[in-house]
Structure 1
Amino acid sequence: MRVKGTYARAWIGAALSAALLLAAVGCTSDNSAGNAGNGNQASDGAYAGNKTPTNGQAAVQTAAVDEQPSSVYYEIFVRSFYDANGDGIGDLNGVTQKLDYLKDLGVEGIWLMPINASPSYHGYDVTDYYGVNSEYGTIDDMKKMLDEAHKRGIKVIMDLVVNHTSKEHPWFKEAAADPNSKYRNWYTFKDASEPLPGDGATGGNPWHAAGSYKYLGVFWEGMPDLNFDEPAVRAEMIKAGQFWLDQGLDGFRLDAAKHIYGDFKSSINTPDIQKKNQAWWQEFRAAMSGKKKDAYLIGEVWDSPVIVAPYLDRALDSGFNFDLSTKLLSAADDETNPDVAFSLDRVYGMYEKSSGGTFVDATFLGNHDLNRAMSVLLGNVDHAKMAAALQLTLPGNPFIYYGEEIGMQGMKPDEAIREPMPWYASKEGGEGQTKWEASRYWKEGANVEEQLKDENSLLAFYKELIAWRKELPTLRNGGIKEYKIDNPQIGSYLRVTADDQALVVHNMGGAEQTVQLTEGEFAEIAKQSKDGAKLDGATLVLPAYSTVVLRQDRP
């Protein structure tokens, strides 16, 4: 969650930080026993001993394989998705009615933005952790949607917002009104005259007036922070999580995961705060695993890999890869080699050590807090396809923000990046079209109706690339290794499993390219996004704006 401000992260700095931490960790790890059976247990010496590959060479001989079994997820803002009852607001029954669309797209998991009761349009300020927003439906509607999704092989996770509540939550209203309330210590209240740190972790002063007191709310005054030093708060949040697993959910996207104790810029990344955050999420993980062994927990830890890594130690399965998102969009926009394999390999080595081999990366191009990918790419469909090709051929669980597959546009403020999903060719829409917010970014052709009929559409491209992942174990489950091709418009990397490897090559630019590979290493083109790709011995010809996957020559 992000209420205000902008975000940028230096990719090179993150990679260097990861490399430094990896070196510092060495061969020691609390998870060493868990790591023993995982394929990524090459020593640091193996990494250090790999020379940077020259043209057409790969560093795969000495470094072991890091596999990441993955699924394709789709983020849904229910309010904007599909309206089943005609009130203009999307609802859970609308999600149910569009499950076949998601199945056809190739989606294997859904992330629902908040569906709990809330006074806001976005839902990140909860007033009832056990209820469904009445505009979205009922608990029974939720159960029906979960049942239908599971019938189609689609898992469902939802946002669970535990860092803070709404100031309209009965707990907070009672706590603010009565200093003797049992809920008083569920929040952080201080005397208004007391000197308090004003360097809120998200910007601005995090203290807000409440009579003769002030209360802590790092995002804004409408979201008072819960106090996780209070045992009753931890127990209640565990109870809420287990309740939703009992309803059939498969896990949670955990909002503001690093802000449980990270309230101030001056202390958020100190060892003490990091350890307290980690300890809470380990406690939560243990409780959720006790209810549902394979519950998937993915956290919003909007920071560098060195900050993310500890959260993967017996706590989260995944952290969203914010650094990678910026890198992929920049490469597509600039028509240049994204050059991500070396950095990712180093980061994944660090995550392996921290998680004991259990982590799965979570890649994305856009989400509900960021300007939409198609707007970042200035409406260029070729660039959007190349960004998607990069994301969908990399390791980890790819997350697609609703409408990204049809090129929806949108720029801040937040409402404009969460607009109604355009199902119809007409701007007026039709049955099921949500209308809670007037669309400022509706574009001709960026709708489901037209793109379903067009085999060259962005939607068709997404379907094709997702199908590749399902057909090729190297793309679905493999790790990543560097493969150098000396051409600034060519991106390339190996996807590697324990018993196979494939070479992914992207022509990021608008002109045909011819490149040289290692003689005899790859036998044939397994997949190509455009007709016209050719492999003649070690010579590969790539059409403009295209991607190929090459199959290894195996005995």
Structure 2
Amino acid sequence: MTSANAAQSNTTSLPTQSSSVPVGQTGVHYEIFVRSFADSNGDGIGDLNGITNNLDYLSDLGISAIWLMPINPSPSYHKYDVTDYYGIDPEYGTLDDFKRLVAEAHKRNIAVIIDLVLHHTSLQHKWFREASKGPDNPYWHYYKWLKPDEIKARKLATRDITADSGERNPWHSVRGASYPEQYYGMFWSGMPDLNFDYQPVRDEFFKIARYWLNEIGLDGFRLDAARHLYRESEEPKNHEFWEEFGRVVEAAKPGAYTVGEVWTRPERIAPYFRGLKANFNFDLQLMIEEIVRKEDDTEELIQFLAYVHATFGIVNPQFIDALILSNHDQNRIGSLLKGNLNHLKVAANLLLTLPGLPYLYYGEELGMLGLKPDENLREPFLWDIRARDKQRTYWRRGKYSTSRTLKPLADQQSDPESLFNHYKRLIHYRNGHPVLNDNLSRLEQTGIRQKGTVSFFRRNQTGQYVLVVHNLTSKLIEVVFSPGEAWCRCIAFETVSGSSFLNDRVVVPAYGCVVVE
């Protein structure tokens, strides 16, 4: 047990993202809503300098890359309706501030990824302001326009509500326009969809991607609404565009990272891996929450994941499965699990040991809370109690995550049993492990079938492998090996002290996880 206990207490700083390894193939990523993370100038709004000031915190946590939600100029608080793809929103700082953030992150081996919202623009973008002048304007074809009788004849007037858009009536008129045509905006009228059948639109975004990668030094992009550039009936056009985009990105900066927001069945996600290096696994996120809450693998998570990975692997053997517990669009895992610390630790265990690339949504390591609507999922990060907190944002008052509902970071850092320190131990152990830190390592199923447990093998690209066993329950479980686990010799890591190895079985404490080698 010496090695396991030593591993559990190890919080020494380990390398995160090796410069020789392409972004995303190792490490843990961290999603930041800039507005809510850290305020550097006292205006109550989080900013780029606030992130720069806290890069040591992220490095200490063990993060290898940060994904920033949109930072381009925008009229909205969330900034998913862009007015200038080359600029920085003044609320967040300047281009020089961003360059400094990238440079300081790279000094710490932390990559920087930004949201690229190329599905739609703001109504206030110069392209749409020009296009809305009428069909003779050179920018008219940047967007999708149809006359009302064409919309009716083609039965396009309404769309089904989906997980990512509640807009049922996606065709909108320009106020005061003298022409009959309406523009398409699948999210809402303030976000007109761009027309990717028009080559100049594609060329604009290839130019934008090259700019951020080459002139600013960015390391990659998270691609918003990647599945919706074309309607579902034209989905192969989506695949073709992302293949072209992927080639442009790789040529501009070899090894640059791309991750898509594509929420659908595995068979329909798979073709996106022809152009994108990673895609988020939303179905897995839903399954993790359910089995942790029920303390039983009712969803047969590993069998499902094996099927998903086999489906992805047919299209691209080098696929990266991007794993999440929650994000800026989904109810926070802290609220879904009702703040139960044991359950939150089990969810973290799964996130950080399953094969793929784990993403932490800012504050997840504290157990931050939040339920829809979206503003409540994006509340200020809790650095300290308010009287001592000089960088907490106050652009809105916290409804779910306050010093009354959870311990702020300062208190959790000094508590060895806190959720924060649980995440930190796990991440640092993962970062130093040749199999767990290989985000291209693959899942293999075990012969273990015990109620209340989840177990799996991971095998890396050099043939090294480990067994990971999770106890989802409040009771100690003796997990009996099948013949396929005969090679197991010792416990290398435990999240809860008290595990033991006994020839043909391993004892896993309540809500614990063990790595067996």
Give the TM-score normalised by structure 1: 0.83
Further displaced range: 315-324 or 500-509: 500-509
CA–CA distance in 1 between the matches of 2:148 and 2:266? Answer: 38
Q: Equivalent residue for 1:342?
A: 303
CA–CA distance in 2 between the matches of 1:486 and 1:185? Answer: 57
Q: Equivalent residue for 2:345?
A: 385
Given candidates 207, 222, 229, the residue that maps to 1:260 is 229
Amino acid in the other structure paired with 2:96:
D
Contact 1:189–1:213, Cα closer than 8 Å, also in 2: yes
CA–CA distance in 1 between the matches of 2:398 and 2:25? Answer: 38
Given candidates 45, 48, 69, the residue that maps to 1:89 is 45
Q: Equivalent residue for 2:459?
A: 496
Q: CA deviation at 1:533?
A: 0.5
Q: Equivalent residue for 1:483?
A: 446
Amino acid in the other structure paired with 1:156:
V
The superposition leaves residues 181-222 of structure 1 with CA deviations (integer Å, 9 ceiling, x where unpaired) of 111111122234544312336440110112333111000000
CA–CA distance in 2 between the matches of 1:471 and 1:188? Answer: 49
1:495-534 matches, cutoff 5 A: 495-497=458-460, 498-518=462-482, 520-534=486-500
CA–CA distance in 1 between the matches of 2:300 and 2:445? Answer: 9
Given candidates 417, 425, 429, the residue that maps to 2:377 is 417
CA–CA distance in 1 between the matches of 2:147 and 2:358? Answer: 46
Q: Equivalent residue for 1:221?
A: 189
CA–CA distance in 2 between the matches of 1:521 and 1:183? Answer: 65
SS of 2:268's partner is helix
CA–CA distance in 2 between the matches of 1:292 and 1:327? Answer: 35
- Which runs of 5 or more structure 1 residues have no equivalent in the other structure? 1-67, 263-267
Q: CA deviation at 1:512?
A: 1.2
Given candidates 254, 272, 291, the residue that maps to 1:331 is 291
CA–CA distance in 2 between the matches of 1:71 and 1:339? Answer: 26
CA–CA distance in 1 between the matches of 2:480 and 2:513? Answer: 16
CA–CA distance in 1 between the matches of 2:88 and 2:106? Answer: 20
CA–CA distance in 2 between the matches of 1:195 and 1:479? Answer: 47
Given candidates 379, 400, 414, the residue that maps to 1:453 is 414
Q: Equivalent residue for 1:5?
A: none
Q: Equivalent residue for 1:237?
A: 205
Contact 1:507–1:544, Cα closer than 8 Å, also in 2: yes
Residue 432 (structure 2) pairs with residue 439 (structure 1): no
Identity %: 44
Contact 1:373–1:409, Cα closer than 8 Å, also in 2: yes
The superposition leaves residues 409-447 of structure 1 with CA deviations (integer Å, 9 ceiling, x where unpaired) of 0000100000010101x2455211101011001244431
- Which runs of 5 or more structure 2 residues have no equivalent in the other structure? 1-23
Q: Equivalent residue for 2:244?
A: 283
Residue 334 (structure 2) pairs with residue 370 (structure 1): no
Contact 1:70–1:360, Cα closer than 8 Å, also in 2: no
Q: Equivalent residue for 1:540?
A: 506
Contact 1:72–1:108, Cα closer than 8 Å, also in 2: yes
SS of 2:450's partner is coil
Amino acid in the other structure paired with 2:136:
N
Further displaced range: 478-487 or 397-406: 478-487
CA–CA distance in 1 between the matches of 2:503 and 2:473? Answer: 23
Q: CA deviation at 1:485?
A: 2.5
Give the TM-score normalised by structure 2: 0.89
1:117-196 matches, cutoff 5 A: 117-196=73-152
Count of paired positions: 473
Given candidates 277, 281, 287, the residue that maps to 1:317 is 277
CA–CA distance in 2 between the matches of 1:183 and 1:111? Answer: 31
The superposition leaves residues 257-305 of structure 1 with CA deviations (integer Å, 9 ceiling, x where unpaired) of 010012xxxxx1x4xx121111111111111111101110100001111
CA–CA distance in 2 between the matches of 1:198 and 1:70? Answer: 45
Q: Closer, same or farther in 2 for the Cα pair 1:486/1:358, shift >3 Å?
A: closer
Contact 1:445–1:451, Cα closer than 8 Å, also in 2: no
Q: Equivalent residue for 1:303?
A: 264
1:18-97 matches, cutoff 5 A: 69-97=25-53
Contact 1:408–1:446, Cα closer than 8 Å, also in 2: no
Further displaced range: 158-167 or 464-473: 464-473
Contact 1:84–1:91, Cα closer than 8 Å, also in 2: yes
CA–CA distance in 1 between the matches of 2:453 and 2:386? Answer: 38
Further displaced range: 474-483 or 200-209: 200-209
The superposition leaves residues 216-258 of structure 1 with CA deviations (integer Å, 9 ceiling, x where unpaired) of 1000000000111111111111111111112011000000001
Q: Equivalent residue for 1:27?
A: none
CA–CA distance in 2 between the matches of 1:345 and 1:328? Answer: 15
Contact 2:459–2:465, Cα closer than 8 Å, also in 1: yes
Q: Equivalent residue for 1:8?
A: none
Runs of 4+ in structure 1 over 4 Å off: none
The superposition leaves residues 87-140 of structure 1 with CA deviations (integer Å, 9 ceiling, x where unpaired) of 100000001011000001110011000000000000100000000000001111
